[in-house]
A and B are shown apart, each in its own frame.
Chain A
């Protein structure tokens, strides 16, 4: 009887140990923000933005408090060459890498780009060769042999960086009632045919987990009242809000961060600005974050 009890206790202990959270791995955040594309102009004057440098500083403070090692580059030093070099310098590391970018994003000939410093010259011309495509960003990470990366992008058209993999993303590239951008399937089963063909046709799983502020064909916004990019502000709030831990396991993971930020954005931005029409883009100002179809999700921080 004693032996049976001891066996049961050791089995229970093994199961509990199996469920325990492992020690924190090495986590490195590469943060890039470009507010000043044109140094002769003030922040907020086109093509300059107001929020990205503040976004990066706030992300740095938040992530440092959550145990991340942070390497940040703002404005003049956040160039394509620097980003490439920073990622390459991580070669051989077995760390989890968080790549964050806040700044302009563009879409040209159905290819999306993020625009680091140097992507806009002093005459305000866009230099596409100084921008970074999804393919380039993923190739930098792969060339460095990084197996575990979380990419967070607060820029226009950033949804193009989100890989669906074997899944179908039901959030449209342009979201919003006024833009007729509805969540794709009214009923669960409506997704069946497309999901089936996606299974048949896809060949490669998403390498990395990507969260984008907006869809592949829509703008993202910054607001002076919050002092940040809207999406980044939601992410920063998730770092402070215990409710971001939706499954109450004491850790906030990438899927929870997506769910929290999309709810935040819908509640505090889309509800207010969904009827604001932007004449330049021809779209209304509401937008929706996207999350890649990777089968993995990463614990980003322990809730305090």
Chain B
């Protein structure tokens, strides 16, 4: 429920931000809006404990301003399942999180490379324990299908490092991203 409200709020913010840019008479600012879904695996290891892997699903909403180098802001809804059990019958707890991040994106050939930093507010499953941690993420996207009128589908790879203090954690996820490029973006 909270996630839904947050998502609606983000849509409103992004809508007005996008509208302000697209309303420019000369379409001088190139904007790319993306909506994607990734799934992958997260490595977790607490100091002095064993390591384990957790399945992670991520919904991403992003906006990139400027090309070929631009500024990217993104927000994610993240569901991390509990990890596999270790030998001593413990596992790392799953959680739901919401992130906000900013960074740089650069188009190199057909690829879009991005590097961003942000924070995740999360809550452990089956609990009322909330926690926050920063993260760094490298991303790679490759358009795989053009629908026309600026709409395209890209394959994406995300490599975040979660800077949790209690658990060393990093992840790799693959997914698909639907992107809409503004007129200014599409101009050569």
Contacts and interface: CB of A to CB of B under 8 A. Distances in A.
A168 B133 CA distance: 13
Given A295-B167, A296-B49, A168 B87 contact: no
Contacts of A296: 46, 49, 90-93
B128 A164 contact: no
Contact of B126 (A169, A185, A246, A295): A246
Given A296-B93, A299-B89, A166 B165 contact: yes
A44 interface: no
Interface stretch (A18-26, A130-138, A224-232, A272-280): A18-26
Contacts of A255: 93, 124-127
A168 B129 contact: yes
A191 B129 CA distance: 10
Contacts, number: 127
B131 A205 contact: no
Given A191-B123, A202-B165, A170 B128 contact: yes
Interface stretch (A48-56, A192-200, A234-242): A192-200
Interface string B110-132: 00000000010101111111111
A167 B130 contact: yes
A110 interface: no
Interface in B68-97: 82, 84-93
A69 interface: no
B149 interface: no
A25 B87 contact: yes
A172 B86 CA distance: 32
B183 interface: no
B166 A183 contact: no
Interface in A239-284: 246-247, 251, 253, 255-256, 258-259
B165 A199 contact: yes
B132 A199 contact: yes
A195 B91 contact: no
A202 B131 CA distance: 11
Contact of A147 (B48, B87, B130, B165): B48
B116 to A, nearest CB: 18
A187 B165 CA distance: 25
Contacts of A94: 88
Report whether over half of chain B's contact residues are helix, strand or loop; otherwise say mixed: mixed
A96 B88 contact: yes
Contacts of A251: 85
B19 interface: no
Interface string A1-35: 00000000000000000110110110100000000
Contacts of B6: 188-189
B90 A299 contact: yes
Nearest to B55: A19
A297 B130 contact: no
A188 B2 contact: yes
Given A205-B46, A255-B125, A189 B98 contact: yes
Interface in A151-170: 164-170
Contact of B129 (A19, A187, A205, A291): A291
A187 B2 contact: yes
A72 interface: no
Nearest to A292: B129
B8 interface: no
Interface string A189-228: 1011011101100100100000000000000000000000
Contacts of B127: 255, 258-259, 291
Contacts of B133: 166, 199
Contacts of A148: 88, 90
Closest 7 CB pairs of A and B: A188-B2, A195-B132, A191-B130, A205-B166, A170-B128, A167-B129, A167-B131
16 contacts: A27-B89, A94-B88, A147-B49, A166-B164, A166-B166, A191-B121, A191-B130, A196-B119, A205-B46, A251-B85, A255-B93, A258-B127, A295-B93, A296-B93, A298-B89, A298-B90
